[in-house]
Chain A
Amino acid sequence: MNLSAKGGGSGFNPVLIILGGAIVLVGGYLISLLAPSLFPVAASAEAGPIDQLFQVMLFLGGVVFMLVEGLLIVSIVRFRARKGETGDGANFNGNITLEVIWTIIPAIVVVFITLYSYQVWVDIRAPKDDELLIEANGQRFVWSFTYTDPLDRLAELNTQTFSDNVLHTYVGRPVRLKMYTSDVNHAFWVPTMRIKQDLLAGRETEIGFTPTVAGRYRVVCAELCGSGHGGMFTYIQVYATEQEWLERFIDPKVDFIVNPPSDPVVLGQVTLQSGRDGRAYPCSGCHVLDELGWAGVTGPSLNGIADTADRRAQSNGLADAADYIAQSIRHPNAYAVPGFNLGVMPQFGGEETEPEAVDGAYYMYMPTTDLINIVSYLCTQTATGDSACGDIDAITTAVETQSQ
């Protein structure tokens, strides 16, 4: 067969070429139909164009796949040396027409997908009108999000923002996240919304998206950040309407700030869930605590922690359960719980706490009032539900002792 002759020879049967081309194109099309099933549900406005771009690229990829694999299979079948055959193939080593074709056509495809991808990217990236601004914070190994009251009820107060470990928003409102990391690089990824953006140490980064379907969707850290990277996830709770979002999320949070409860146990519970001055404490990222729905994997479980603290206090030379719990927070590297490593839990220091010098550990500020409330709450984590610690004065003493 002589490929340098135009169109002649059995290798260039026009019917076979058209048939082959049709098989390749139809095959590529059929492959592209798989695209929707490969993605999780689409829950954002951005997902639409992204999924469609993927489907087009899957079509193009499918065509290339069918073409290359098809030619391979045909070659294997048709040009296999038969048994006993020792001769060579035909001596041709080039064909300018073919080489031009398979340079130009890919170049055209490249131009097309460049322009198409560029257009999708510009649309996704463009700032939208009336964005809901939320601050996101990533740290090893928990997410926290900081909100302001849309009804501005906190204007007169010291605390103007509030935090939560879950991202709360509602359908149809564009969100813009301004993101910071407390330590190493992380990445914010919502698979159902197809958006991802790294959090970079020393920088503010941002990402915008618009949820379109109500529901609860996983948020995953997508940049290796250490031993608890796989466990660093949370959710985005998308309410169906703004009203629902206000009633079920914003209002209770504002109410807690405007009318703080006086019971230290209640204060402690909400502090654990919402943090202080807009920064959520990262406990839920590492610990299990069924009552609050925490499912962390990096640290010891806090279920029944007050009973455990009571048992351990004696052998550790501490006064009581409150003392143990306070020490575990103020000086986490003073005692290694069996099966866990030192230097992973942040040190939550107070106004006068001596920072510990342990490789890899780092420091967060937790004021004494917060710690008293948190210890009060954790003291109720017993088998019976009754506090294992004394009254508020005893707890305060324990906390102040450990705050040195």
Chain B
Amino acid sequence: MASITVPMSGAQTAPRPKLSEYLRWSVDHKIIGTQYMATALFFFLIGGTLALLIRWELLTPALDFAATGSIYNSLFTMHATVMIFLWIIPFWAGIGNYIVPLQLGAKDMAFPWLNAFAFWLIIPAGILMLAGYFVGPAEAGWTSYPPLSVLFSGDGQTLWIISLHILGVSSILGAINFIVTIKNMRPESMGWFQMPLFAWAQLATSLIQILGVPFLAGGLTLLLLDRVAGTAFFDPSRGGDVLVWQNIFWFYSHPAVYVMVLPGMGVLSEVISVHSRKPIFGYKAIAFSSMGIALVGFTVWAHHMFTSLSPSLRIPFMVTSFIIAIPTGIKIFSWLATMWGGKIRFNSAMLFSVGFLSQFVIGGITGMMLGAIPLDIHMHDTYFVVSHFHFVLFGGSVFAIYSSIYHWFPKVTGRMLDERLGKIHFYVTYVSFFLTFFPQHIVGMQGMPRRVAEYAPEFQTMNIIISISAFVLGISTFIILFNMWWSMNHGKIAGPNPWRALTLEWQTSSPPPSYNFKGEVVPFEDPYGYGTEASRVYLDEMEKRLTPANLLGKTGDGGNSSEPMTGD
């Protein structure tokens, strides 16, 4: 299925920065974005390895692979923490950093120095997190409830807290940057409702971060003081209250899940529209629903506490949790309506976005079930919950990350990813993902709690199926990693706009020069205006402008990325 319309022959039109430029301080958002993404992919592998160790232990009902229950508990604690805070959240910061300024026709983010600083905080935070392994890693779950996390967790728990503090600062600084960039750095002709939905998604995400992360910081500080300074915030015997942690933690951590999924939804809006060759259906509804989800997301937190919160307080959180289904449903139907009537190219980017749709809806359905208090009473803290959040975080966020990689790799590297490998990657991932996580609904309902290395023997058969599928899923990761590594230097040359897409990141070379755009930036009137004569004219005009001859003309030289921005 040919999706490249005009392969650009000959040399790269803009040279890629050298490897050494990625290993040092740079204020270029494209370098920083790539640094974020590479770091995140590294931690994906660590988190994934921890997952496979968990699944190896769970092949049998007894504790036999991990030497002690403590070691097992640290496996899932670190698995979740690494995946959430060092893989998904930084990856979205990375691709957002790379693409959003380009989509807005800007030369860089609003605060380039702050941008670099926010990235470089990730490195010591990641080191601290992993350093826990030298002193006894955190083992109280990523939710870290006291008294367990104060009394019975290794010294790594303290390092875990400090690491999260640093990551929180990074998130806040990045969020400020996105908000100011999106508000202030659009071209004259690009009003709020002419900017790409990926930018709307990053805006909503950033608003959540600046409002929510300070609460996490507050809770972490109290926990740290209880651990090292003898305070009693969470010690009931001295006047403290364990529920205070749960409320503060979840007040941030529920909105955090929208931080993890909203950028992915933004990716879907881009990918589905471009590869269906159709305008996004219901642009305003999708934009407003992103903001709606961000807002309502702050009102649902205690649905994580339906078995611990005082019973009389539980109802309002059920109401708000159900309400949030409505903006989510609007998005899903809008994407379906975008595909309907299109001329769909089923390349790897599109496959993973469609995969997101089909798996995320399952996660949404089980989320609604968990929102019903009487059902949650049975299903809370069981494998049903584990299944639900993996459907939305892997079937959702990670599929969207994969989709974004297939979609934007050509822009970042100037090369296409191999399509055959991409399709193999998709099918292997899709099937093994489903077989890994769908059965977990069943064992959870049947009586298997979460966070256990020992379980009732009647669950073993299911667990074996799950574990074997998980190993296949783990291996499937290497298909895309190999594809990326190989295609970097051997993939087909992509040219500026292999997808013939209308958003601004495609109206410059691949990769873009250090100053992003040569000459005046001319956005098309509708970033999703496919199917019109005007869009065809625009794309043909852009193709003429972005030939190698023109791009390598008078002043285009790729540039040294650490120089101040120049260009016509």
State the A residues within 8 Å of B (CB). Answer: 1, 3, 11, 38-40, 49-50, 53-54, 57-58, 60-61, 64-65, 68-69, 71-72, 75-76, 79-81, 83-95, 98-99, 102-103, 106-107, 110, 113-114, 117-118, 120-121, 124-125, 140, 183-185, 187, 189, 191-192, 194-198, 200-203, 205, 218, 220-231, 297-298, 341, 360
Contact of A80 among B70, B240, B346, B362 (CB under 8 A): B346
Q: Are A297 and B62 in contact (CB under 8 A)?
A: yes
State the B residues within 8 Å of A (CB). Answer: 1-2, 5, 62-63, 68-70, 72-73, 139-141, 145-148, 151-152, 235-237, 240-243, 276-283, 285, 307-308, 311, 314-315, 318-319, 322-323, 325-326, 329-330, 332-334, 336-337, 339-346, 354, 357-358, 361-362, 364-366, 368-369, 372-375, 377-378, 380-382, 441-442, 445-447, 449, 451-456, 526, 528-532, 535-536
Q: Are B277 and A110 in contact (CB under 8 A)?
A: no
Contact of B456 among A196, A201, A203, A218 (CB under 8 A): A218
Question: What distance in Å separates the Cβ of B436 from its nearest Cβ neighbour in chain A?
Answer: 18
- Among all A-B residue pairs, the 5 with the closest Cβ atoms: A202-B236, A227-B69, A230-B452, A91-B531, A191-B447
Q: Are B343 and A222 in contact (CB under 8 A)?
A: no
Question: What distance in Å separates the Cβ of A337 from its nearest Cβ neighbour in chain B?
Answer: 13
The SS class assigned to the A binding surface is: mixed
Cα-based distance from A90 to B281 in the complex (angstroms): 11
Cα-based distance from A230 to B448 in the complex (angstroms): 10
Cα-based distance from A58 to B280 in the complex (angstroms): 31
Question: What distance in Å separates the Cβ of A252 from its nearest Cβ neighbour in chain B?
Answer: 29
Asked, given contacts A79-B343, A226-B152, whether A91 binds B530 with beta carbons under 8 Å apart, the answer is yes
Q: Are A1 and B341 in contact (CB under 8 A)?
A: yes
Q: Are B341 and A11 in contact (CB under 8 A)?
A: yes
Contact of A79 among B141, B341, B361, B369 (CB under 8 A): B341
Q: Are A184 and B147 in contact (CB under 8 A)?
A: yes
Q: Are A94 and B375 in contact (CB under 8 A)?
A: no
Question: What distance in Å separates the Cβ of A345 from its nearest Cβ neighbour in chain B?
Answer: 13
Contact of B340 among A53, A60, A61, A79 (CB under 8 A): A79
Asked, given contacts A200-B243, A224-B73, whether A88 binds B343 with beta carbons under 8 Å apart, the answer is yes
Question: What distance in Å separates the Cβ of B136 from its nearest Cβ neighbour in chain A?
Answer: 10
Cα-based distance from A201 to B342 in the complex (angstroms): 58
Cα-based distance from A222 to B318 in the complex (angstroms): 21
Contact of A360 among B152, B285, B368 (CB under 8 A): B152
Q: Give me 14 other A-B pairs in contact (C-beta within 8 A), A88-B278, A140-B152 excluded.
A: A3-B341, A39-B445, A87-B343, A89-B344, A90-B531, A92-B341, A99-B330, A107-B326, A113-B322, A192-B447, A201-B242, A224-B145, A224-B451, A226-B148
Question: What distance in Å separates the Cβ of B60 from its nearest Cβ neighbour in chain A?
Answer: 12
Question: What distance in Å separates the Cβ of B197 from its nearest Cβ neighbour in chain A?
Answer: 12
Q: Are B372 and A185 in contact (CB under 8 A)?
A: no
Question: What distance in Å separates the Cβ of B266 from its nearest Cβ neighbour in chain A?
Answer: 17
Q: Are A49 and B343 in contact (CB under 8 A)?
A: no
Question: What distance in Å separates the Cβ of A341 from its nearest Cβ neighbour in chain B?
Answer: 6
